[in-house]
Amino acid sequence: MRIEKKERSGIINPIFTCQPAGAQYVSIGVEDCIGIVHGGQGCVMFVRLLFAQHFKENFLLASSSLHEDTAVLGATHRIEEAVDVLLMRYPEVKVVPIISTCSTEIIGDDVEGVIRKLENGLLKEKYADREVHLISISTPSFKGSMVSGYDIAVRDFVREFATKKEPNEKINLITGWVNPGDVTALKHLLMEMNVDANVLFETESFDSPLMPKGDAVSYGGTTIKDLESTGDAIGTIVLNRYEGKLAADFLETEFEIPSIIGPTPIGIRNTDAFLNNLKKMTGKPIPEPLVRERGVAIDALTDLVHMFFADKKVAIFGNPDLVIGLAEFCIDLEMKPVLLLLGDDNVNYSKDPRIKEFEEKVEFEMEIIENADLWDLEERIKNGDVELDLIIGHSKGRFIAIDNDIPMLRVGFPVYDRAGYYRHPIVGYAGATWLADEMANVLFTDMEYKKNKEWILNVW
């Protein structure tokens, strides 16, 4: 196995967007919360569009609307105005994260200073009877990526609210950047295990209905109370190392709440480990219904693996925990994940124990590219450096699949060129089944389209 870095300085077709997008994703997961992105209007408008493309829903985020004068002279007064306008017009709003961007970090706006000023001034004078929390979230776009922005924002929300009151029996479950369907699957596992949890974040309600009265909206369901009680939990489980570990570390240091990092519960083995971690943390046994549920999944996988999946070469790109989790699952499915692309310059990826494990145990040619872009993938395909049977990744890579006639399963964020994927889980036993079914269906469609042994399905 080789670990490499992108050799070019610039990016051709990025895998990730920048930090503020990650913070915005966290912000929409919290009830009665509207984030203000402190920067140019595009930093919000396009991220909202990205969410709308992925979920086919609208989410609320505001901008401090940086214009030319403020970019030169400082823009902290724009935050003051934005907070006031937002609070006046959205009486239910209690939480307002102020999310910084590249421009406002470069001009050096003191967001924490403004928040103190607002807390001692505006909030006391005008909103004395109202619960309002302003949170400074520093996410300069020139550091990390949307992945680290997510990590930072989860920590900052937890840090703002977590308090130690009465110890409870709950655990904190930090899901990472997942879909509503994943949250449903995770909550199902928690329920079967009879474990009560603060789920960060409750995004099931993102998939909101169209109601007869026309009064539905999409919003996250994590409450201030949930966030507060993270300080009283018996432990924290972080499913995605790069999307929640900062918060777990904070809770461990501040409140001595033990944490377990990973694994991302993609596939049978990782779901087993997740349940075992729940058992370890709560002392509760894994119940019989989950044995059966696991059996249903294994039954489905057994139908597919040797006949269709064995030795298929796969490339995977996207958020690092997602890519690693999918690669591990692919190996269990007898496939060969030959190329993994991780799209930012986080230096910790190569020290990740899971990547070390690939290094030690994988016997086939496997290449991991850090700080990768999609050109790293496309160039290898075009030059014949890699032959692929399947690509797994998000919609921004769609033309690689289309132009090179390689079947592709859409997984991750954003997925806007397939219908309804956000409501399906990829985690847990249900997620394992769905992923395997979809991989198979994508391969089958490709066989038929190319007339490549399409007749094999006659007797399956």
Query: Among 213, 351, 361, 453, which residue interacts with another protein (rule: CB under 8 A)?
Result: 213
What is the footprint of another protein within residues 59-88 (CB under 8 A)?
A: 60-68, 70-71, 78-79, 81-86, 88
Which tokens is 36 given?
Answer: 């203000």
The alpha carbon of 298 is separated from its chain's Cα centroid by a whole number of angstroms, namely: 26
- Contact call for residues 26 and 154 (beta carbons, < 8 A): yes
Residue 159 near another protein by CB under 8 A: no
Exposure b/e, 197-225, CB count within 10 A at least 16 = b: bbbbbbbbbbbeeeeeeeeeebbbbbbbe
Which residue, 18 or 237, is less far from another protein as judged by CB? 18
Binding mask 221-260 for another protein (x = CB under 8 A): ----------------------------------------
In 10 A of CB 362, how many CB atoms?
Answer: 15
The residue (of 39 and 337) whose beta carbon lies closer to another protein is 39
Q: Which of 345, 322, 456 is nearest to 393 (CA)?
A: 322
Q: Can residue 447 be called a binding residue for another protein (CB under 8 A)?
A: no
Which helix (H) or strand (E) element contains residue 410? Answer: strand 408-410
**Secondary structure (H, E, C), 211-249:** CCCCCCCCCCCECHHHHHHHHHCCEEEECCCCCCHHHHH
Residue given tokens 């030319």 in the structure block: 68
Region 393-432 residues binding another protein, contact defined as CB under 8 A: 395-396, 399, 403
Cα three-residue angle 301-392-356, rounded to 5 degrees: 85
User: Of 113-121, 215-223, 231-239, 356-364, which segment contacts another protein by CB under 8 A?
Assistant: 215-223
Least distance CB 179 / another protein (angstroms): 17
Stretch that binds another protein, among 51-59, 237-245, 250-258, 436-444 (CB under 8 A): 51-59
Cβ proximity to another protein, 79 vs 193, nearer residue: 79
Least distance to another protein, CB of residue 165, Å: 33
319 in contact with another protein (CB under 8 A): no
Residues 275-294 close enough to bind another protein by CB under 8 A: none
* 263 within 8 A of 320, measured Cβ to Cβ: no
Q: How far is residue 236's CA from residue 228's CA, in Å, rounded to a whole number? A: 14
Is 53 a binder of another protein (CB under 8 A)?
yes
CB 255, CB 190: distance < 8 Å: no
Other CB atoms within 10 Å distance of the CB of residue 378: 17
32 binds another protein (CB under 8 A): no
Instruction: Give the shortest CB-30-to-another protein separation in angstroms.
Output: 17
Select from 19-27, 112-120, 129-137, 190-198 the region that touches another protein (CB under 8 A). Answer: 19-27
Asked if 20 and 47 touch (Cβ cutoff 8 Å), the reply is yes
* 346 makes contact with another protein (CB under 8 A): no
The Cα 265–Cα 139 span in angstroms is 28
Task: Number of residues interacting with another protein: please give it, by CB under 8 A.
Answer: 80
Residues in 358-377 that interact with another protein by CB under 8 A? 375
Backbone angles phi, psi at 310, to 5 degrees: -55, 130
Which x/- pattern, by CB under 8 A, does the window 85-124 give for another protein?
xx-xx-----------xxx--xx-----------------
- Give the residue with the Cβ less far from another protein, 84 or 359: 84
